[in-house]
Chain A
Amino acid sequence: MNNILEIFQYQFVERAIIAGLFLGVLCAVLGVFLVLRKMSLIGDGLAHISFGAIALGIVFGIYPLIIAIPLVIIASLIIYSLTRNKILEGDAIIGILAALGLSVGVILSSISTGFNIDIFSYLFGNILAINQQELIFAIIGSVSIISIIILFYQEFMAISFNPEEAKISGLPVIFLDIVFSIITALTVIMSIRLAGALLISALLILPASSSLQISKSFQSTLIIAIIIALFSITLGIIVSFLGGIPTGATIVSINAILFFSILIIKPLISK
Chain B
Amino acid sequence: MSIPIITATNISVELGHNIILSDISFDIYQGEFIGIAGPNGAGKSTLIRTLLNLNPYTGTITLWNQPIQHFKNWNYIGYVPQSSTHYSLQFPATVEEIVSLGLISTLNWPRILSNTHIQQVQETLASLEIDHLAKMSIHDLSGGQRQRVWLAKALVSQPKMLILDEPTNALDLDVRGTFYRIITDLHQKGLTILLITHDMNDIGTYAEKLMIIDQKLVFWGNFNTFCESNQMSNYFGKNSQHLICHQHE
B100 CB to nearest chain A CB (Å): 8
| Interface set of A (CB-CB < 8 Å, partner B) | 35-36, 38, 151-155, 157-158, 160-162, 164-171, 212, 215-221
A residues within 8 A CB of B104? Answer: 154-155, 158, 166, 169-171
A residues within 8 A CB of B109? Answer: 151
A160 B91 Cβ-Cβ under 8 A: yes
Say which residue of A157, A219, A220 sits within 8 Å of B101 (CB atoms).
A157
Pick from A161, A169, A212, A221 the residue with the most CB of B within 10 Å: A169
Binds A, one of B25-33, B73-81, B187-195: B73-81
Excluding A36-B90, A216-B140, 20 further A-B contacts by CB distance (< 8 Å) are A151-B110, A152-B110, A153-B111, A154-B112, A154-B113, A157-B101, A160-B91, A165-B79, A167-B53, A168-B52, A169-B101, A169-B102, A170-B74, A170-B104, A170-B105, A216-B92, A216-B136, A216-B137, A220-B92, A221-B92
A198 CB to nearest chain B CB (Å): 26
Q: Is B93 an interface residue (CB 8 A)?
A: yes
B residues within 8 A CB of A217? Answer: 92-94, 97, 135, 137
A154 to B87, CA, bound (A): 16
A137 to B225, CA, bound (A): 72
B residues within 8 A CB of A157? Answer: 97, 101
A161 B93 Cβ-Cβ under 8 A: yes
Q: State the 4 A-B residue pairs at the shortest beta-carbon distance, nearest first.
A: A170-B74, A154-B111, A169-B105, A216-B137
B28 CB to nearest chain A CB (Å): 17
B92 A215 Cβ-Cβ under 8 A: yes
B94 A154 Cβ-Cβ under 8 A: no
A168 CB to nearest chain B CB (Å): 5
A36 to B54, CA, bound (A): 22
A225 CB to nearest chain B CB (Å): 11
By secondary structure, the A interface counts as helix
Contact bitstring B140-154, A, C-beta under 8 A = 1, else 0: 100000000000000
B88 A36 Cβ-Cβ under 8 A: yes
B residues within 8 A CB of A166? Answer: 104
Contact bitstring B102-131, A, C-beta under 8 A = 1, else 0: 101101011111000000000000000000
A168 B92 Cβ-Cβ under 8 A: no
A164 to B91, CA, bound (A): 15
Given A155-B111, A157-B101, A162-B86: A168 touches B77 (CB 8 Å cut-off) = yes
B101 CB to nearest chain A CB (Å): 5
- Among residues of B, the one whose C-beta sits closest to the C-beta of A155 is B111
A residues within 8 A CB of B91? Answer: 36, 160-161, 218
A36 to B135, CA, bound (A): 21
Say which residue of B74, B81, B97 sits within 8 Å of A169 (CB atoms).
B74
Q: 21 A-B pairs, CB-CB below 8 angstroms?
A: A151-B109, A152-B110, A154-B101, A154-B112, A155-B111, A161-B88, A161-B91, A162-B87, A165-B79, A165-B101, A167-B54, A168-B52, A170-B104, A170-B105, A171-B104, A216-B92, A216-B140, A217-B94, A218-B94, A219-B97, A220-B92
B90 A212 Cβ-Cβ under 8 A: yes
Residues 53-103 of B contacting A (Cβ, < 8 Å): 53-54, 72, 74-75, 77, 79, 81, 86-88, 90-94, 97-98, 100-102
Given A162-B87, A164-B54: A218 touches B107 (CB 8 Å cut-off) = no
- Among residues of A, the one whose C-beta sits closest to the C-beta of B105 is A169
A166 to B153, CA, bound (A): 12
- Among residues of B, the one whose C-beta sits closest to the C-beta of A167 is B54
- Among residues of B, the one whose C-beta sits closest to the C-beta of A38 is B88
A residues within 8 A CB of B94? Answer: 216-218
A168 to B163, CA, bound (A): 12
A212 B98 Cβ-Cβ under 8 A: no
A residues within 8 A CB of B81? Answer: 162, 164-165
B residues within 8 A CB of A153? Answer: 111
